[in-house]
């Protein structure tokens, strides 16, 4: 089959790889009909290469048709249409029963000290082949896949794999309530979807970015926007909030934030070290670009909450603990527990009026063969690229 593979720093290519096969009686195999390009995939493109190997298949936002299943999978039939959550979880361990599927005790990658295995996301998370491919093996196919209706287009359901539950968890973890103010740092796919979800809940939303297309799209849906390239974000936020700051902040940017030149240089230099040394540095002494997190600490009001949905991976990040302690800031974070939020998000996804604008959310649909160009364009924030969807 054809699949998008990692070959090196800023180097991905579509190659012929072996077709997946059933390994366990709870596996299924899907024919992928759509697969998203996530902002966190760009971390693999740039920063996390120490934990990848040439030929690794990327991608963790797929959906498709069940074409094969193990004997223990009784809840799905061949031909069923399913969305695959980005994490692999069993559904019956202690953590899954707590709604913490990204901490699944069955699939935890203990040798790396990490949580549940993820599709297409480095050795740190199990080295499981990803979904930017023509076919995908899905472990724990008796629990993870989300069966959806046959009628609407893929884009109505595809974002259940990651974007919608991640954005929903970001808003939920912020603790923001109707009538309060939520600031969202980063108006990429997760940040903009968080804005849409918060607006549905009657929350006032201030969106912050520096890309004109992202700012304009968020503003068109009722978000108050700030252009961080030309405005003093903390000053403007406080002007909009009676001098206090936002009740809550979602950081949807993560480890590769603009405005962190020292950390950016360090991240790039690490990429030139021998592989084993690079892994050691990344595991024990790495730092993130923390400009977005620092901004969140600045603009949240005293007693407010910061919700981190952007991916962080630093092992020795410096934080202003005095300020965080003095301001009584609450911080919640983590990978989204997709199935935890299904009952909350499915009414929005299945609503015929499409209140979240899912069918028009993606800005680009391209064949899988064009994935390398899509990665480069998306990283450069060119061509109005906010969300790519591949059609294998």
Q: Report domain extents, the chain.
A: 2-161+337-390, 164-333
Q: Are 78 and 68 in contact (CB under 8 A)?
A: yes
> Quick check: 88 and 116 in contact, CB under 8 A?
yes
| Token pair for 175 | 């603790």
Tens of each residue's pLDDT in the chain, 392 residues: 999 999 998 999 999 999 999 999 999 999 999 999 999 899 888 767 778 999 999 999 999 999 999 999 999 999 999 999 999 999 999 999 999 999 999 999 999 999 999 999 999 999 999 999 999 999 999 999 999 999 999 999 999 999 999 999 999 999 999 999 999 999 999 999 999 999 999 999 999 999 999 999 999 999 999 999 999 999 999 999 999 999 999 999 987 645 445 444 444 444 444 445 445 444 444 566 788 999 999 999 999 999 999 888 777 788 999 999 999 999 999 999 999 999 999 999 999 999 999 999 999 999 999 999 999 999 999 999 999 999 99
Identify the pLDDT of residue 51: 86
Query: CB atoms < 10 A from the CB of 186, how many?
Result: 27
User: For residue 38, what are its two tokens?
Assistant: 């996530």
pLDDT at 45: 85
What is the structure's pLDDT at 286?
55
pLDDT at residue 305, as a whole number? 98
Which stretch of DSSP H or E encloses residue 135? Answer: strand 135-138
What pLDDT, on the 0 to 100 scale, is given for residue 367? 98
- Alpha-carbon distance of 207 to 211, in angstroms, equals 12
Closest by CA position to 172, among listed 340, 359, 307: 307
* CATH hierarchy code of domain 2-161+337-390: 3.90.180.10
Distance separating alpha carbons of residues 211 and 231, to the nearest angstrom: 13
**CATH fold for the domain made of 164-333:** Rossmann fold (3.40.50)
The pLDDT value recorded for residue 47 is 66
Three-state secondary-structure class, residue 37: strand
CA nearest to 314, candidates 361, 360, 264, 353: 264
Burial 56-74 (b: 16+ CB within 10 A, else e): bbbbbbbbbebebbbeebe
pLDDT score, position 288:
66
Q: Are strands 330-333 and 300-308 parallel, antiparallel or unpaired?
A: parallel
């Amino acid at each position: 089959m054809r699949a998008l593979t990692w070959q090196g720093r800023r180097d991905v290519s579509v190659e012929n790889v072996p077709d997946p096969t059933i390994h366990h009686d709870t596996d299924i195999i899907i024919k992928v009909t759509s697969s998203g390009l996530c902002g966190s995939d760009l971390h693999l493109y740039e920063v996390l290469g120490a934990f990848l190997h040439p030929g690794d298949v990327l991608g963790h936002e797929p959906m498709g048709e069940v074409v094969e299943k193990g004997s223990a999978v009784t809840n799905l039939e061949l031909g069923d249409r399913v969305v695959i959550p980005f994490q692999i979880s069993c559904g019956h361990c202690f953590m899954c029963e707590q709604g913490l599927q990204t901490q699944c005790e069955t699939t935890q990658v203990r040798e790396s000290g990490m949580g549940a295995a993820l599709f297409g996301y480095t050795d740190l998370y199990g080295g499981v082949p990803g979904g930017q491919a023509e076919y995908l093996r899905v472990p724990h196919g008796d629990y993870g896949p989300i069966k959806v209706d046959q009628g609407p287009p893929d884009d109505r359901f595809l974002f259940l794999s990651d974007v919608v539950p991640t954005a929903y968890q970001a808003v939920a973890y912020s603790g923001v309530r109707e009538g309060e103010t939520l600031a969202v740092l980063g108006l990429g796919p997760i940040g903009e979807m968080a804005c849409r979800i918060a607006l549905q809940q009657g929350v006032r939303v201030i969106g912050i970015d520096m890309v004109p297309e992202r700012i304009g799209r968020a503003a068109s849906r009722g978000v108050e926007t700030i252009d961080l390239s030309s405005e003093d974000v903390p000053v403007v936020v406080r002007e909009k909030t009676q001098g206090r700051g936002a009740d809550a902040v979602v950081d949807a940017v993560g480890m590769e934030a603009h405005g962190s030149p020292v950390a950016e240089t360090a991240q790039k230099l690490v990429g030139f070290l021998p592989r084993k040394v690079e892994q050691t540095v990344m595991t024990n002494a790495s730092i993130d670009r923390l400009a977005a997190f620092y901004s969140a600490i600045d603009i949240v009001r005293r007693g407010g909450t910061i919700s981190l949905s952007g991916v962080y991976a630093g092992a020795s990040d410096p934080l202003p603990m005095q300020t965080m302690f003095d301001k009584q800031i609450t911080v919640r974070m983590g990978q989204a527990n997709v199935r935890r939020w299904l009952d909350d998000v499915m009414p929005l996804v299945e609503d015929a009026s499409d209140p979240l604008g899912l069918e028009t959310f993606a800005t680009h649909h391209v064949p899988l063969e064009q994935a390398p160009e899509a990665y480069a364009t998306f990283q450069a924030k060119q061509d109005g690229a906010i969300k790519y969807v591949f059609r294998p």
